[in-house]
Amino acid sequence: MTILVVDDEPDYRLVIRSILNAEGHAVALAEDGVEGLEKLDAGSVDLVIADIYMPRMDGIKFHRKVRSLPQFEKLPFLFVSAFDDQHTMSAVKDPRYDGFLKKGRPIEELLEWVTYLATPEERRPKMPPSGVKVKPGDRSLTRGQSNTPIY
């Protein structure tokens, strides 16, 4: 599977690439939504992991642009952010967004989200992985618990 990681923090991109490469995934990197769109045009991508707050084009605008393109309207997205304040959480409550994971959460949670989003929708478990997630039905957000940091 090819995963596009879009984040303005170079160290975070490299850490995530190392983790995903170790799991056997191909990883493309982009520093913001503008470069992310270029990477999508350049090759096949199966999943996007995108930061929310980035220069030039943030993750929400990037998602909106990607979803407007017919070939990517069902491309799975996992949003990540160092922030989980009310403003950030209200930005990711849209039911079109697939998932949210706060930066610093355990590696296992990231990998659970990748597995979950890589599974075809009709075969996905009803409940998303732990961490901040969208509940089926009401699409409200909840938080799981864990003590092992990712980064």
pLDDT tens per residue across span 45-98: 999 999 988 899 988 899 989 989 999 988 999 988 775 555 455 555 555 557
pLDDT by residue (tens digit) across 107-127? 899 999 999 998 888 888 877
- For residues 78 and 82, what is the distance between their CA atoms, to the nearest angstrom? 14
pTM of model > 0.85: no
- Output the DSSP codes for 39-54: HHHHS--SEEEEESS-
Residue 99 pLDDT: 79
Could you give the C-alpha distances from 10 to 5, 29, 52, 90, 98, in angstroms and in order? 11, 9, 15, 26, 24
Please state the φ and ψ torsions of residue 18, each to the nearest 5 degrees: -60, -45
Fold of the domain spanning 2-142: Rossmann fold (3.40.50)
- Backbone torsions φ then ψ of 144, nearest 5 degrees: -90, 180
Q: What are phi and psi of 146, to 5 degrees?
A: -165, 155
* 14-24 confidence digits (pLDDT tens): 999 999 999 99
Cβ neighbors of 120 (< 8 A, separation 6 or more) are none
